[in-house]
Each structure stands twice: as structure tokens, then as C-alpha cells.
A and B are shown apart, each in its own frame.
Chain A
């Protein structure tokens, strides 16, 4: 599937903490990252990719362009507590590359205006946590999709496809004779 990256503006992470940040001991367990798309208008979000850095759970809220007669645009949760680290105290999944697709979301992402990423890391053992290399993609041009699907189906059909390719080649060369 072809995809096109959407230029975005990522605001710095804001820690959510009860009480005064300076006086309270302990690290914040919740961070919020706001993402706006000043140059692109409302678009259909296809895919989000990023590199995890010790974030355990991810929630995403989206604000979409509502229809003209309705009330002003509301925030909707499109991903709730997506687990990036199966055990928040271990290194598993801590620095992995992740892709999230629109079929994994709870709602349609047709006219996205801005996104809010809510990062949670309940374990007190990590000094920092965040998401790096955030990228957002929308659907690219549709040419050639049909042929790609056909090819994938052919490949998925049998594990002996190596033979299939050899035999197809032989079949074609025999037909030509």
C-alpha cells in the first residue's frame, strides 16, 4: 500500500502530575504529546509509526472536523491503553519500532485535525519515557494496488510457491516452444 507522509508539528511532552512538579518527589507517570497539522487540511489518517522509548501504554485522542450543522469539534478516544511493553518493569518492547493502522482504531479517522498522544509508564524504575521519530501517513495514490493484492494472494496460497515460480517459468518457456 502506498502512503504519503503528512507534515506535522509535534509539541513537547507535558507531564501530568498532581501537585507542584518542583516539590513533589517521584517521576510523572503520564505524558501528553500534542500533534497538529498546520499545513495539511483535515485528512484521512492511514498509519502512525514511531520508535518507542520506554513507554508502557499509549492512548490516542483525536479531534476531527465535524459536519457543519453539529456543535464544535469534540475530542474522541481512538486508541485506549495500547500496550507497548508487556511488563513495564522489563526491557521487552522498550525500544521497538511500532506501526499503528487505522483498522486498529476505535473510530473512523476521516477528517483529522489534531491528535493528542497520552503516554503512560507506571513503573518508577525508568528515568524518562517518550516516543521518538513520530510519523503520520495518509493514503497514497491507488495505482497498482490491485496487482499487489493479486501477487500477495498468490504467495500466501501455498508454502511450495518456490516450486510454483520455477514451474510457471518452465510452463511459459514450454508454451513458447
Chain B
């Protein structure tokens, strides 16, 4: 009991510390002062009256949302003896692997710089700045020569690093034992069994209405859809983050999705946010980073060629270029196993984030948000909560290593014949599904299906659904996969996912598969 009280007060102290520096704290203080003018606030019961005032005017709700947001994002308070690296990643060998992976990326980036004799960062001349400002909204029309730039790494390279991850204290011998990993991942992390997944994803069960299934044209809307939309509107009126997160587990109506996501991620469009975005934009215009060219190339190769996302090319540049200069993102490195590489701009310290992004992660958001500054906020918040885990090596249950292991375990347990067959023909299933998971399926699914999937990621605050969906896709195409005889043929069977409906697949795999 004493320990729990101490833990609670430690958590409270940490949250206070974070909130004290935030805008919300200043606003609450201002509101408290303003409220003193009101006649109903009496000096004898000052505290109670002001609390009542906050409750009525909705400021208490905002505080609730901010605290809830901190609780979901912030990891648990650490043991006083634990060093900060332990909070980022408790397992020593994973930290080492992440460190060497980062070194490799930086080395590759630096060698590219010296080869092409382009500085990592430079200040733009004034003429160039003016030019960029003029065509800020149409950067897609620019056609710089990017043929010499090559991508720093591909998902395949990252997969190779994960496959070679080994725990030095683990029995990695040649002999088969009861715990030999037949898949590619060889580290014994904890992953959920299907019974635990059924409990975790209980709102996806067969008895509960889902958007993505129960809003099909054949189903009369009075059964589920109308009520669900009404409930969504009520949740938005209440402005309660926790309720919104619970609500979105059953899917979000298209009309309400943008606001619901903003509410769950606790992103509000204040004038200060617009100013922040403008500041980042001016940073982009003043300084040119090597990473910018890599971003251009990446976007040109991927999103511009995609049937759904090419329209958003300009938005993508605006968001990603600003993102690479945003120092607020550094805050998430406290619980991310990676560390930010630094680059110097003529003596002034500039911070650089990852060398390569995955632009399709931004592209689906363009369907929801039109203003660049709000789009940017949402993207940044989604990145620091979820998507960074897909690019760094860690033992977190939503990290990419755990997702890969979860996928392989599910497949092995529930489709053992398929797994064995694919392994025998040299087509390890993870080689095919890795690229889906590392991009959170964006670019592979139809956009409306993708947004339904991301609804659940937000609702459950976890990326494990990506691994479950990957296994469900294999289960769905199992009959065809059993007949293939090579890796290329297996990839061909699974090449096109754009016709898949995500929610029925998940429901069948979790709740209706006979084992």
C-alpha cells in the first residue's frame, strides 16, 4: 500500500512538472484571475468557487484531457536507482543494437555528403529564400536533380538488422529445443497470446457493432450506424479525451473523424500553434538540410506515384520539411530507445531527426485535415506517440521487434501448416509482411480501410493491431499461399491488398477462427 501511494505521488509530481511548463497552465492562471471579477466568487470560499467556475466553463475538462494525455503517453515512473537509458530501453543488448544501427545510418549519410560534396546543413542565400517562399505551396512542381541521391536505408536493411538481433545471455545454440524460434526473429520478448488479444480487443468482438462492418449498404442504418453517429456527436460536445478514445474503438464516422482524432491526441488549434508552424516554415526557408533532398526523393518515389496520395504531394513537403526541424519532437526521445543525431549549422546547434521518413504515414492524414498547421500538429503527435516505434529497436510491446514476433507467433500457432510450407519454400512470412507493418499499412490498403485501422490504433493506444491484421491477411489468402512454390510467387499472391476489408478480417481472425 505504501509503495502504491509513493508511486502515485511520484506520477502526480511528474505530471505537474510537465503541465507547469505548458500553455494550459498559463491559460488556467489567467482564467482564475479573470474569474475574480465575477460576483459569485467569494473570498471566504475562494478555492471552491473557482473550482466550480472552471467546471462550468469547461476548463476542468481541458485539464482532464491534458492529464489523460500525459498518462497515456508517459511511461511509468522509474525506479530511483534506474539511469535514464533504462527508461528508454531496459534491455542492454537492445540499446547497443539501436546505437550501432544509428551509427550506421549516420555513417551512410556522412559518406553521401562527402561523395556529393554537399554540406549536411547550410544557410540559404537570400535570393533562394525568396524563391522558396514564393513556391511554398507548390513545391511539387520543382524538379531538382536528385539522381545522385540514394535512399539511406530500405525496410529490407532494417529487417536484416532485426533478424540478427541476439541476446548474449540466451541459448542460441544449434540444437532444437522447445523454444526454438522458427521464424526470423530470435529474441524471446513477451507477446500476447490469442486469448489475451481477445480480451484486449474485446470491443472488436462479434457481438459489438463496428464501423467497417455494420455500416455496409445492406445493413439498415437504424441497427447501429445512426446511434453510433449520435453518440460520436455527444462525445465531441463533451470534449472528453478518454471517452473519445473508448468510442473510437468501434470506428469513427467519416464526418467526425478529424475532430475525434484531434481530441484524442489533445491537439487544439490555437493561434500559438499557427505561429509555431510559421516559425518552423521560416526555419525551412532559411536553412537547407541534406535531409530535405532525401525527403524530396522519397516523396517523389512513393507518394507521387500512388493513385490516392499524389494530390497531396505539396502538403507532404510542407509537413515533412518542417518536421525535420522541430525541436519539440526531441521530448519523445526520453522514452524512445533512439537518440537524435545532431548537425551543426555554422556554429549554431541544429537538431536533426531521422534521416529517412516514411511519407505515406503523413499522406492518409491529408484526407482529414486541410490546413497545413493542423495537419502538421496531428502528424507530429501521431509520430511521437506511435509511429516512431516502427523505426527504432526496442523491447516495447508496440515496438517493431515485438510486432514482428507477435506476427510470427500468431501465424505459427494458428496456421502451422501454412507457416511450415512457406518456410520450406524459402518464403519466411515476415519477409513479406514486414513492409506492411513498418509503414502501418499505409500505401497498401484502400484509404478508408486504412483510416478505420488507424482509428483502432488510437483507440487501443497500441500498434499490436498491425501484427494481428498481417496474420489475418495471411489467413485469408491461405488457400492460395499453400499452392505457391517460391518467395516471388508468395509475394505475388499478397501484392495487392487494396480490395481487402480490414474489420471483417480482424474479427474473423480474432473471434471466429476455429483452432
Contact = CB atoms under 8 A, between A and B. Distances in A.
Interface of A: 49, 51, 53-54, 86-87, 89-92, 94-99, 101, 103, 124-128, 133, 135, 152, 155-156, 159-168, 170-171, 174
Given A92-B190, A99-B79, A155-B12, A174 B43 contact: yes
A126 B179 CA distance: 12
Nearest to B25: A162
Interface string B74-94: 000011011000100011100
A163 B51 contact: yes
Interface string B157-189: 000000000011111000001010000000111
B63 A51 contact: no
B399 to A, nearest CB: 12
Contacts of A133: 81
Interface residues on B, range: 35 or more
Given A90-B188, A156-B8, A95 B81 contact: no
A87 B191 CA distance: 11
B51 A91 contact: no
Contacts of A98: 79
A86 B190 CA distance: 10
A12 B383 CA distance: 47
Given A162-B63, A163-B51, A171-B46, A125 B12 contact: no
Contacts of B28: 162-163, 166
A82 to B, nearest CB: 14
Contacts of B5: 152, 156
Contact of A160 (B3, B33, B63, B79): B63
Where chain B touches its partner, the secondary structure class is helix
A125 B170 CA distance: 6
Interface string B1-43: 0110110110011001001100001001100110010000001
B259 interface: no
Contacts of A152: 5-6, 9
A90 B169 CA distance: 12
A166 B47 CA distance: 9
A132 to B, nearest CB: 11
A47 B367 CA distance: 55
Most chain B beta-carbon contacts within 10 A, residue among A91, A127, A133, A155? A91
Most chain A beta-carbon contacts within 10 A, residue among B8, B12, B60, B64? B12
B54 interface: yes
Most chain B beta-carbon contacts within 10 A, residue among A124, A127, A174? A127
A164 B46 CA distance: 11
B190 A97 contact: no
B86 A91 contact: no
B274 interface: no
A125 B47 contact: no
B65 to A, nearest CB: 12
Given A124-B171, A125-B188, A159-B67, A89 B19 contact: no
B50 interface: yes
A91 B394 CA distance: 12
A167 B47 contact: yes
Given A155-B13, A160-B60, A162-B16, A54 B81 contact: no
A67 B269 CA distance: 71
Contacts of A170: 32-33, 36, 46
B395 interface: yes
Contacts of A54: 169
Given A124-B177, A159-B67, A89 B188 contact: yes
A26 B91 CA distance: 25
Most chain B beta-carbon contacts within 10 A, residue among A87, A94, A162, A170? A162
Interface string B280-304: 0000000000000000000000000
Contacts of B67: 159
Contacts of A89: 179, 188
28 contacts: A89-B179, A89-B188, A90-B188, A92-B190, A95-B90, A96-B79, A97-B78, A98-B79, A125-B171, A125-B177, A125-B179, A126-B169, A126-B170, A127-B170, A152-B5, A152-B6, A156-B5, A156-B8, A156-B12, A160-B51, A162-B28, A162-B63, A163-B54, A167-B32, A167-B47, A168-B47, A170-B33, A170-B36
A91 B16 contact: no
Contacts of B167: 91
A127 B47 contact: no
Contacts of A97: 78-79, 81-82, 86
Contacts of B29: 166
